[in-house]
Structure 1
């Protein structure tokens, strides 16, 4: 079997529908979260929602298909919100390392753009995600410790912070 090359690239509109399909499939079918496309207007306007100021949105591409996503929303005060981190089930784990590649890309970007703290919200259901974030330096925090500008989603119930080292 030939090696599958994973490419991390910035959002491109040609992949918009594929990104939406990937995220909705994981949310609805894998984790039974009752969320629809209409509940996530950010997905219809990725350039203005995520690629503004010092934010960005990345995709993991394998064989010209989107297999993962991650974004950083600039929330001001040298802080960012990690959002929309999803990896297709077949591409999770250490054999592909897509989650790690996406996260390292985001952290590198944040450091280059003087973002010093990254916050994220997730659901109690994403147990593997909790382990992943903790293994990569994120510390669980109380909702009350989030910056005022942090965009809380209604499904978010667990929150994390990562300090970016220079």
Structure 2
């Protein structure tokens, strides 16, 4: 068993762990009233995320999923960053899980000559806001989002990262 953190593309064999990780963080840590049934994309990752300029990655430690991130192709060489979640014990500077996940997604976007990454988040994810800002994302108005950006009901704050 490998006890180092690795980032790899999602595989359907990761589905149950991915759903469990994401729903636990949403419901238990942040008390967001959302269920796995409210997120059908979690059961169609290959068809929903892993097409065109999109992808979905998992962070693995000791054979277990400890983090996720995805890019959803929204056309016009733009992507939406979605499903960025890291298990509580893998947050912070010890494992740098979030940074490694984001670096993987950004490298993927640059390889595909993506123009910009957009994301929506909830007001209570304060650490996430600081993380995105530290990594070059700037806040944007909902009016400045691309037409095909999927705004979720829980998303109230929006960010983007443009590539030159």
1:44-123 mapped onto 2 (5 Å cutoff): 44-123=43-122
- Contact 1:22/1:67 (<8 A) preserved: yes
Counterpart residue number, 1:160:
159
1:151, 1:27 → 2: CA distance?
A: 18
- Structure 1 runs (4+) deviating above 3 angstroms are none
Indicate the SS of the match to 2:124: coil
Indicate the SS of the match to 1:100: helix
2:55, 2:163 → 1: CA distance?
A: 16
- 2:27 counterpart of 1:28: yes
Counterpart residue number, 1:37:
36
Number of equivalent positions? 163
- Contact 1:80/1:115 (<8 A) preserved: yes
- Contact 1:107/1:164 (<8 A) preserved: no
1:63, 1:78 → 2: CA distance?
A: 35
1:42, 1:138 → 2: CA distance?
A: 25
Query: Structure 2: 5+ residue runs without aligned partners?
Result: none
2:47, 2:3 → 1: CA distance?
A: 32
Cα shift at 1:164:
2.2
Counterpart residue number, 2:13:
14
Indicate the SS of the match to 2:74: strand
1:48-84, Cα deviation, whole Å (9 max, x unpaired):
1000111000000000000000000010001000000
1:41, 1:158 → 2: CA distance?
A: 22
Indicate the SS of the match to 1:76: coil
- Contact 1:119/1:162 (<8 A) preserved: yes
1:40, 1:115 → 2: CA distance?
A: 26
With the length of structure 2 as denominator, give the TM-score of the two structures: 0.98
